[in-house]
Structures are given as C-alpha cells and as structure tokens.
Amino acid sequence: MTTLVSQGRGKGYRIQFVRPDGRPDSLRLNTRSLRCAKQARWFLEDLVSCCKAGTPPNAAATAWAASVPDRIRRHLEWLELTETVGRAPTLAEWLETYIRSRDDVLPTTKRLYRKVQRNLLLFFGREIRIDQITAGQAEAFRIWMKSTRGLADTTTRLNCSRAKQFLAGAAKRGLVAENPFARAKASDFANWDRRFFVTREQSEAVLKACPTDEWRLIFALCRYGGLRCPSEVVRLRWKDVDWARMRFAVHTPRTERCRGGTRHVPIFPEILPHLLAAFRQTAKNAEHVVTRYSSSTRNIGGILRYALSRAGIALWPKLFQNLRSTRETELAEEFPLHVAGAWIGNARLMAMQYCSRVAESYYEQAVGGKTTSVSATRPRLALPARLVRSWAALPAHLKEAIMLLATTASGTRVDG
C-alpha cells in the first residue's frame, strides 16, 4: 500500500510505502507535478507488489526505475526492487568497483590507478554515467591533460591508456556499448628529452662521493647491475648471491606473476669489490644485502642527490631510471640483445629469449674470465693475547662446561 504526501506548497511530493519485509519507508520525489507524482506512486507500488510475489515487474515500471535520478535509483536498488544492471553506473561508482576488484595487481599499480581515477573524476565529474561518455569527450580529456594540467605527452598517454583499460572492463560486462577511449592515443613511447647517459667517469666520481660503503654498493648495483631502485635493490638477499658461479638472483615484484619475477645477473667486476666489502661488514645472520635503506620511509633519492652535489655533477633527470638505461645500452653494445634483456629484465628485449638461450659463456665473459668461486668470508675478530693465555690455562673440565653453555645459548655447536 502506497500513499502520496505533499511536502507543502511548491516543495514537491513524498511517497510513503511499506517495504517487502513489512517495514515502513518513504521516498522523496524530484518533481512538483501531481500527475508525475501519481505515476511514480503507481510504478513504485507495482515494484513492491512484484517483489513480494517474486514475479518480474512490467516494462513501464522497469523503464521508470531506469529513468529516475541516481539518488532514487540507488534507494530502489538498496531495497532490491530493481536490478542494478538496468542502468549504467556512474563514473565514480564504476572506477571504485573496478579498482577494488583488481586484487591481482601490486599496491604500486593500484596507486597509479588512483592517480588516473582522480584525473578522470576531476574532468568528467562524479555523477556522469559511463554510458554517457563519448569519444569526443575522451579526446577532450586528452587535450585537457596536456593544456590545462600541463602534463607531458608520455604521462598523458599513460592516463589515456589506464582510462581505456577501465572502460574496456565496463564494455566486457555489457555496461557500455562501446569504449569511448578506444581510439585515444595511448601507446607508450620514449621521451628522449629526459634520457641521459651516465658516463663511467661520472659514475666513479659519484662512488667516491657516496657517504657509506653500503651506499656505494647501492649505486654500483643500479649503475653496473641495472637493478631497479628501490624495489629490486632492497629485496636482494645474501642467499641469492652465488659466489661459486659469480652471479646473483634478482627478484622483481612487477613480473613475478607473468615471468616468475627472477633473473640472474653476473657479478660484474665493477660490482664485486663493493659487494665483498658489504659482505665482510654485515652481521653473520643478516638476511638482506641492503639493510639501512630497506625501509620505505628512507629517502634514497635524497642521498643520491647529496652524492651528486658532493661530486660536483649536475642533477640529471630520472635519477635511477637513467642509471639502469645506461647499463642497458652498454650491455646491448657488448652482448646479444636477448642476453642484455635477460640480465636487465627488459620485457621488449626478453621477447628474443624464447628462441635464444643465455649461454654460460656469456656469464664468463661478463665477469672477466672463467666463473670460479670467490673467497667471501667475514673477518674474524682478533682476541687479545692475554685472553688467549687465560683460556689456555683453564682446566679441561671448565673449558668443556663453558663450551656446553655457549652451545646451549646459541643453538649451534661451539668448538674450542
């Protein structure tokens, strides 16, 4: 049973009704016309009665539910009086739904999704339905990103690529007939204005200016190993270092779902002294190679800027990316492309790896000769001579008792 109630002169109407579960409810209409309000009351009464009987509503009531404002539509959907598929969601609703559903991507990728989401909502607004976005508006969004926001062409194409991905998901679910961003310029390309080649002379000057041995290792891994910083550098563990074969395993979170996320990089001669120095200085039970700067709160870029300032070298764009691209260029000039791609982890160059194998001879050539084991031992602390003489003077049963206590406390066998 429904009742039409006037809210006052010129203030519109409200429908009072009983939900299918028997609880009273009301719905405020956005019309001041008595005729339209009566039609809405009839349609709402039909929806409630059909919901109670478990039968589908008639076409007129369904069409009315699809044409009402979003506030009334969401209320009807919440009461389960109409199907949510009868009307395309708003842009804000769909973006939130899509991003939350992508549990298969990394948190860093979701943060990129959120940036594109803010740009889309800033341009289109939150209340626009995704089926109302046209190809012309998608082109206007691209122009707005470059002219008003002042973003580079590469960043603009990245935003359009993500927007195309979002609306493609809606098209697959039948929420839109056509993806409005289907023809938008979204292909990635290199921005040569931000490319910089870091010479070996500059690299050696930066290494001398680095504040600590650990930072010299970080810079060597990025410049001569081609590691991504900080994601790959902070994940490097001592058990990943194979001293016998002179190589180490690099774990890449961004490719672990599609290509296993692990590649093997030679311990190049430029990396070896810094890696050995770090190994001899770390504790015996240390797990990660880089410990001080492993926290996400550490400003690794700020330390590199400080080293560049001390070395008297001008700041180059994309600090760590250009270190990686410089090493990729050097390896591509000396080794086949599929080998350089396998060591750097470049997806485009690794496409050749499916038909080409990284031979063992390339690893031997990279480390400067035959891959033989390196004596990687931590220096033992020298005991004072007085303590050594005192230990030698102790009776055998006291020595055995002391070693037994030390073994019990450490969990490992202690030999005298």
The domain total for the chain is 4
Question: Where a domain ends, among 189, 219, 250?
Answer: 189
d(CA 42, CA 86): 19
CA angle at 140 for the pair 136 and 144, rounded to the nearest 5°: 175
In-domain check, residue 202: no
Task: Indicate whether 377 belongs to any domain.
Answer: no
| Assigned token pair, 278 | 């770090």
pLDDT tens track for 226-264: 998 888 888 899 999 999 889 999 988 766 655 567 889
Residue 409 has pLDDT above 90, yes or no: no
Domain match, 158 and 132 both: yes
* Phi, psi dihedrals of residue 390, rounded to the nearest 5°: -65, -40
Q: How far from chain centre, in Å, is Cα 128?
A: 28
Q: Are residues 214 and 303 in the same domain?
A: yes
Q: Are residues 237 and 331 in the same domain?
A: yes
What local confidence, expressed as pLDDT, does residue 208 receive?
92
What average pLDDT does the segment 59-82 reach? 78
Q: Strand pairing of 24-28 and 241-242? A: unpaired
Whether residue 282 is found in the same domain as residue 332: yes
Q: Which residue has the higher pLDDT, 300 or 114?
A: 114
- CA–CA distance, 363 with 246 (Å, rounded to integer): 8
SS3 assignment, position 350: helix
Contacts (Cβ under 8 Å, ≥6 apart) of 318: 194, 196
- Residue range 113-139: mean pLDDT, rounded: 91
pLDDT for residue 85:
41
Structural domain contains residue 197? no
243: domain CATH number?
A: 1.10.443.10
Q: Identify which of 334, 333, 339, 365 has the alpha carbon closest to the alpha carbon of residue 353.
A: 339
Give the number of other Cβ atoms within 10 Å of residue 26's Cβ. 12
Same domain? For 231 and 141 the reply is: no
pLDDT tens, 30-42?
Answer: 788 888 888 888 8
262 located within any domain: yes
β-strand partners of 18: 24
**Residue 412 pLDDT more than 50?**
no
Domain hosting residue 411, numbered range: 383-416
- Contact in structure between 82 and 47 (CB atoms under 8 Å): yes
CA atoms within 13 A on the CB side of 122: 13
Q: CA–CA separation, 270 vs 276, rounded Å?
A: 11
Q: Are residues 334 and 416 in the same domain?
A: no
The average confidence (pLDDT) of the chain is 81
Q: What is the DSSP string of 21-54?
A: TS-EEEEE-S---HHHHHHHHHHHHHHHHHHHHT
Same domain, 180 and 213: no
% of the chain beyond a pLDDT of 70: 82
Whether residue 239 is found in the same domain as residue 124: no
Structure token pair of residue 321: 């990316």
Residue 59 · residue 47 · CB < 8 Å: no
pLDDT digits (tens, 9 = 90+) for 338-371: 888 888 887 665 554 444 567 778 788 888 765 4
State the average pLDDT over residues 193-217: 90
AA letter at 214: E
In a domain, 277, yes or no: yes
Q: State whether 48 and 100 are in the same domain.
A: no
CATH code: domain of residue 103: 1.10.150.130
- 331 and 278 part of one domain: yes
Structural domain includes residue 348? yes
Specify which of 6-10, 135-139, 399-403, 404-408 reaches the highest per-range mean pLDDT.
Answer: 135-139
Q: Which amino acid is at 50?
A: C
What is residue 67's predicted lDDT score, i.e. its pLDDT? 76
CA distances in angstroms from 14 to 48, 62, 74, 234, 346, listed in the order given = 16, 20, 16, 61, 63
pTM summary value: 0.59
Specify whether 336 is located in the same domain as 257: yes
The answer to whether residue 163 is domain-embedded is yes
Q: Is pLDDT at 187 greater than 50 in this prediction?
A: yes
In a domain, residue 376? The reply is no
- Backbone φ and ψ for 368, nearest 5 degrees, come out as 90, 25
> Which has more pLDDT, 283 or 380?
283
Is pLDDT of 70 > 80? Answer: no
The percent of residues in the chain predicted with pLDDT above 90, rounded, is 23
**What is the rounded average pLDDT of the residues 166-170?**
90
- 107, 120: one domain: yes
Q: Which residue has the higher pLDDT, 186 or 115?
A: 115
CA–CA distance, 143 with 126 (Å, rounded to integer): 20
Q: Given a cut of 90, is residue 294 above it in pLDDT?
A: no
